[in-house]
Amino acid sequence: MEILIRDSLEAGAEVAASVVKKIINSKENPVLGLATGGTPLRMYHELIRMKESGELSFQKCTTFNLDEYAGLPREDERSYYYYMMNN
C-alpha cells in the first residue's frame, strides 16, 4: 500500500482523482464502489471536471453506491443516488 500525503484537501482530491483515472484507463471493465459522506466529495468533483474536459470517460465503468438503502426510491432526498446526483 502506498500512502500519499498532500498539503491541502484540493491537492489530495487531485491526486486521488488521478489515481482513479489511471485505474479506469487501465481496466477493460472498471468497477467503482462509491462511498457516501463529505470526505470523497472533492475527489468526485475533480473526476467530474476530468470527464467534462474530455480527460476521462466513464463509458466502460460500472458503479455502485456502498451505502444505499434497500427499498428507498432514488428520487428520495435520503437516497445515495440523490446525494450523488445533487452534490
Q: Over the chain, what is the mean pLDDT?
A: 92
Please indicate, yes or no, if residue 76 is contained in any of the structural domains. yes
Please indicate, yes or no, if residue 4 is contained in any of the structural domains. no
Looking at residue 68, its pLDDT comes to 81
Cα(18)–Cα(87) distance, integer angstroms: 20
Please indicate, yes or no, if residue 1 is contained in any of the structural domains. no
Specify burial of residue 21 (Cβ count, 10 A radius: 0-12, 13-18, 19+).
middle
Residues 6+ apart with CB under 8 A from 35: 66, 67
Q: Please state the separation of Cα 80 from the chain's center in Å.
A: 13
Total structural domains within the chain: 1
Cα(57)–Cα(68) distance, integer angstroms: 24
Please indicate, yes or no, if residue 72 is contained in any of the structural domains. yes
pLDDT in tens, 34-69: 988 888 999 999 999 999 999 999 999 999 888 888
